[in-house]
Amino acid sequence: MTRLIDREFLDLCLHDWLGTGDIAARDTVDAVLDLSETLARERFLTHFKAGDAQEPRIGAQGVTVHPEVRAAIAEYAELGLFGAGFAEDLGGHGLPFVVSCASFAWFAAANIATSSYAMLTVANARLIAQFGSPAQVDAFARPQIAGEWLGTMCLSEPQAGSDLGVVRTRAAFDGQDDLGRRYRLVGSKMWISGGEHDVGGNIVHLVLAKVAGADGSLPEGTAGLSLFIVPRVLPDGKRNDVAVAGLNHKMGYRAIPNCLLAFGENAGAVGWLVGEEGQGLRQMFMMMNEARISVGLGAAALACRGYGHALAYAQERLQGRGSDGAPVPIIEHAAVRRMLLAQKALGEGALALCLYAARLVDAHADDAESAALLALLTPVVKTFSSETGLEANAMAIQVHGGYGYTRDFDVEQVWRDNRLNPIHEGTTDIQAIDLLARKLLKDGKGLAVLKARIAATCAAADGFADEVAALQAAWSDVDAALEMLRLRDAALDVATPFLFAFGHAVVGWIWLDLAIVARGKGKRIEAGTAAALRYFIACELPRVRAWLACCTAGGAVLEADAGWM
């Protein structure tokens, strides 16, 4: 049986490391994880390949997706998983965010494309629950929390990707009703996952648009963005003026359609304003921050799944001979073990990092320290997981040799699916600017919290003196580079290698912290955690210095005219 995620490791993270017991009953958590794994296997994993081979199509009936998606999402709803993390008075189950993330990881590992219907819907409903009026919550959030309707986030346009300031979708005021200030929207939205499909129920689009001034002109920049709820079907049962203008044909992530949506080709799409005008980006960012954690989590889950496949293959496949001349499973070869350890250290390290951040979401409402640390770690969660998750998946293929390159095995698709994760919800370069400019150079609070926690870990790390020394040296290099960048005008030039370095230094700490906690928790988990720590310190942490060297020397290099023309 394919191992999706190492349950013992997940339990270590939740119960022993993150103290989930303080915010949820252990048996509840266990039951949710059991149920999640079972459903992920029985309804999501089952069409992992079929959903890739038979991608969404557009026809006279609209967009049709693989039929098993519908059954999977229906059962996900029936078991109450859409509502897992919502308060009970919203129809949810009141589970902590970290537990709903741990649940979600199983579905992402099994079938990241199908799981993303749920991810987007939950993020959408959380935003409406946070910023919408009570009537909006009732009308649009509750049906999503119940899993009866699904949701999207409509930010990008063909000409507006990383730069949302140039969004051109326009909204014109159209009156007031029970659901709030009503507008008519006209414009195109690109890269809309789940933008149209036959999975069932209504689709709630959350759309960023600009309200035109009296002279018809749109406000400049992101400050002019407002957020609108634009349902596919209006409360009166009529179809809203939203049409799918085309599907993007992706390399992976195929069980969910990715659409170009045309709003308002006729009378204008009806949408209700969320909160006030001009608050759209701020509101969307709350959703986006959680979506970034979810993307990181999905990437980490895929890294763990690839590792599971590679490990199983390495234990079975005979090739080469041992010292006695007899055939051996390839896990006996150091080169293969290196790739397995790397996948474990990167994939499970990323998973732990994501769960750590999710635990901060639960804590941050009443804890400024947690909030600052969460803000700092969000771009790291997104980027470390997606970039190194992809490296881990490439190694999963390599362990399989030629077999890994064929569609008879799963690892090639896992790698293709995971390639989206460094792109969507803010590319790696966007995350890097967020980390360096907003989270470090502008405000040092998050870093101070992080450094204090690292110091506490190092102080408790009896028996890991070498690892502590290496970690402290890496952080002292990071500090020195940051001080250098603080003095440089064009520090953002090298924000990306800085983010890579920072992320590895963070995950070095995560592994040290995990290894301390794993002591005495059973031979297998203790040995595995210590081995991953040692591998990370020996073979991953040295990359920190290489990336920082690029930060130090690279700025001037990037200015050069390289004879592009």
Longest dimension (CA), the chain: 85
Inter-axis angle of helices 368-383 and 280-316, nearest 10 = 60
3-state secondary structure 468-526: HHHHHHHHHHHHHHHHHHHHCCCHHHHHHHHHHHHHHHHHHHHHHHHHHHHCCCCHHHH
Residue 295 binds a second copy, judged by CB under 8 A: no
Among 337, 445, 451, 521, binds a second copy (CB under 8 A): 337
- Binding a second copy by CB under 8 A: which of 318, 455, 460, 465? 318
Question: Which lies closer to a second copy via its Cβ, residue 26 or residue 249?
Answer: 249
Q: Mask 82-121, x = binds a second copy (CB under 8 A)?
A: ----------------------------------------
Token pair of 183 as six digits: 């507008």
Q: Of residues 453-512, which lie at the interface with a second copy (CB under 8 A)?
A: 490, 492-497
Residue 268 engages a second copy in binding (rule: CB under 8 A): no
Sketch the per residue contact string, 31 through 60, with a second copy: x for CB under 8 A, - otherwise. Answer: ------------------------------
Contact residue for a second copy among 133, 427, 441, 444 (CB under 8 A) = 427
**Binding marks (x or -) toward a second copy, 149..168, rule CB under 8 A?**
-------x--xxxxx-xx--
Paired residues of 261 in beta bridges: 189, 244
Asked if 341 touches a second copy (CB under 8 A), the answer is yes
266 secondary structure, DSSP code: S
Residues 514-543 that bind a second copy (CB under 8 A): 523-532, 534-535, 537-539, 542-543
Q: Which helix (H) or strand (E) holds 23?
A: none
Distance CA 400, CA 340 (A): 11
Cβ atoms of 36 and 45 within 8 Å: the answer is no
Which tokens in the block code for residue 85?
A: 């993390």
Are 414 and 325 a contacting pair, CB within 8 Å? no
The residue among 201 and 379 lying less far from a second copy, judged by its C-beta, is: 379
Question: Which range of residues in 62-70, 120-128, 365-373, 553-561 is near a second copy by CB under 8 A?
Answer: 553-561
Q: Does 546 bind a second copy (CB under 8 A)?
A: yes
For the CA atoms of 177, 178, 180, 186, the dihedral, rounded to the nearest 10 degrees, stands at: -60
CA gyration radius, the chain: 24
Touching a second copy, residues 169-208 (CB under 8 A): 190-191
CB-count burial class (<10 Å; 0-12, 13-18, 19+) for 35: middle
CB of 556 to a second copy, least distance (A): 8
Shortest Cβ 505–a second copy spacing (Å):
13
The pair of structure tokens assigned to 313 is: 């293959």
Give the shortest CB-314-to-a second copy separation in angstroms: 8
Instruction: State the residue for tokens 């998050």.
Output: 446
Output 176 or 217, the one with its CB closest to a second copy.
217
Count the residues of the shown chain that bind a second copy, applying the rule CB under 8 A.
97
Query: What is the rounded CA–CA span in Å between residue 467 and residue 463?
Result: 9
Shortest spacing between CB 534 and a second copy, in angstroms? 5
558 binding a second copy? (CB under 8 A): yes
User: What is the distance between the alpha carbons of residues 516 and 519, in angstroms, rounded to a whole number?
Assistant: 6
Read off the DSSP letter of residue 533.
H
Closer to a second copy by CB, 71 or 490: give it. Answer: 490
Under rule CB under 8 A, residue 235 binds a second copy: no
Of 237 and 564, the one with the shorter C-beta distance to a second copy is: 564
Give the residue, chosen from 130, 133, 248, 279, that forms a contact with a second copy under the rule CB under 8 A: 248
User: Where in the sequence numbering do the catalytic residues fall?
Assistant: 425
Give the burial class of 159: count Cβ atoms within 10 A of its Cβ; 0-12 exposed, 13-18 middle, 19 or more buried: exposed
Q: Per the structure block, which two tokens stand in for 248?
A: 């993007």
**Smaller CB distance to a second copy: residue 334 or 365?**
334
Report whether 530 contacts 515 (CB < 8 A).
yes
Token pair for residue 371?
Answer: 């909030």
Stretch that binds a second copy, among 36-44, 91-99, 111-119, 314-322 (CB under 8 A): 314-322
Q: How far is the CB of 382 from a second copy (least distance, A)?
A: 14
- Of 176 and 406, which has the nearer Cβ to a second copy? 406
Q: What 3-state class would DSSP assign to 455? A: helix
Instruction: Tell me the two tokens of residue 67.
Output: 């039929």
Binding flag, residue 26, a second copy (CB under 8 A):
no
- Decide if 207 contacts 227 (C-beta within 8 A): yes
Question: In whole angstroms, how close is the CB of 17 to a second copy at the nearest point?
Answer: 16
- The residue among 135 and 558 lying less far from a second copy, judged by its C-beta, is 558
> What's the min distance (Å) between Cβ of 100 and a second copy?
27
Return the range that interacts with a second copy (CB under 8 A); candidates 89-97, 292-300, 352-360, 399-407. Answer: 399-407
- 131 is a contact residue toward a second copy (CB under 8 A): no
Looking at the Cβ atoms of 369 and 526, the one nearer to a second copy is: 526
Six-digit token string for 333: 């070869």
Instruction: Output the CA torsion sign for 537, 436, 490, 420.
Output: positive
Q: Give min distance, CB of 527 to a second copy, in A.
A: 5
* 106: its two tokens: 């199983």
Q: How far is the CB of 124 from a second copy (least distance, A)?
A: 20
Query: Smallest distance from the beta carbon of 547 to a second copy, in angstroms?
Result: 8
The residue from 26, 239, 338, 488 that contacts a second copy (CB under 8 A) is 338
Angle (CA) 39-126-415 rounded to 5° is: 50
